[in-house]
């Protein structure tokens, strides 16, 4: 029982760390290529991109030999989050 409670507690506190950002796309969206260009301007290499389930632009790539996921707001083009993969 104690292990079950510890596992449930860990899952509760760890879940927000793995959550992807959520966006609410408006009517005047920035083009995806602007987000890609911003990542490449930092010497990042884009491997793939998509619009995630939350509506944000999501770039999969490498930067300084580190694989990562980078999320951008489709309305402003601002970077929201960066996760080492």
**Is 69 within a domain?**
yes
Q: Which domain holds residue 36?
A: 29-85
For the chain, the domain total comes to: 1
pTM of the full structure: 0.75
CA 58 to chain centre: 5
More confident residue, 85 or 15: 85
**Is 68 within a domain?**
yes
**Is 56 within a domain?**
yes
Strand order in the sheet with 66-72: 45-51, 57-63, 66-72, 79-84
Beta bridge partners of 83: 69
> What would the pLDDT profile of 9-53 be if each residue is shown by its tens digit?
444 444 445 578 889 988 999 999 999 999 999 999 999 999 998
Question: Which of 28, 25, 26, 47 lies closest to 36, judged by CA?
Answer: 47
* 66: CATH: 3.10.450
**Is 44 within a domain?**
yes
Between the alpha carbon of residue 31 and those of residues 4, 72, 73, 78, 84, the distances in Å are 46, 11, 11, 12, 24
**Is 5 within a domain?**
no
């Amino acid at each position: 029982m104690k292990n079950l409670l510890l596992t449930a507690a860990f899952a509760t506190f760890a879940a927000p760390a793995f959550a992807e950002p959520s966006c609410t796309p408006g009517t005047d969206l920035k083009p995806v290529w602007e987000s890609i260009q911003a990542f490449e301007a930092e010497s990042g290499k884009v491997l793939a991109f998509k619009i995630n389930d939350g509506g944000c632009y999501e770039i999969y790539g490498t930067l300084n030999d580190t694989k990562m996921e980078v999320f951008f707001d489709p309305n402003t083009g601002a970077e929201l989050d960066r996760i080492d993969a």
